[in-house]
């Protein structure tokens, strides 16, 4: 049973593949994450972030397949601030695909990524 206006609105939208004009959702997800992290932290910290990803055996191109692992890594790096960072990434991502982002109780970062990859 759906109880969220945002979820109901997402169901009536075109599949993300159509919204993106046939673009690969994984490419858009990765581009948005990198751009957001670079905008927030700058290039130097992004380089350190890359090192932390290697230590955790997570490559950039694996993030769409492992959004939970990415979220866990964010938590290790920035602590409780990961929530704000994840929300910023999601706001930018939804903007990039032309849909409004609305906070949905109980819907975590990885849930949004999986919905976008699944065509919403």
So what's the pLDDT on residue 4? 38
pLDDT for 45 equals: 87
Rounded CA gap, 83 and 71, in Å? 9
Domains in the chain, number: 1
pLDDT at residue 118, rounded to an integer: 87
Low-confidence ranges of the chain (pLDDT < 70): 1-23, 120
Q: Which CATH number do you get for residue 101?
A: 1.10.1200
In a domain, 74, yes or no: yes
What Å distances lie between residue 18 and 12, 30, 37, 39, CA to CA?
A: 13, 18, 26, 28
Task: List, for residues 16-47, the tens digit of each pLDDT value.
Answer: 445 455 568 999 999 999 999 999 999 888 88
């Amino acid at each position: 049973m759906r109880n969220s206006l945002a979820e109901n609105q997402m169901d009536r939208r075109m599949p993300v593949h159509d919204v993106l004009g046939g673009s690969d959702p994984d490419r858009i997800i990765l581009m948005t994450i990198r751009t957001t992290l670079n905008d927030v932290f700058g290039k130097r910290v992004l380089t350190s972030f890359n090192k932390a990803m290697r230590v955790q055996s997570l490559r950039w191109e694996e993030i769409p397949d492992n959004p939970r692992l990415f979220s866990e890594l964010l938590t290790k790096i920035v602590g409780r601030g990961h929530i704000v960072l994840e929300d910023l990434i999601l706001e930018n991502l939804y903007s990039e695909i032309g849909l409004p982002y609305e906070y949905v109780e109980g819907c975590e970062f990885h849930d949004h990524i999986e919905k976008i990859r699944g065509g919403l």
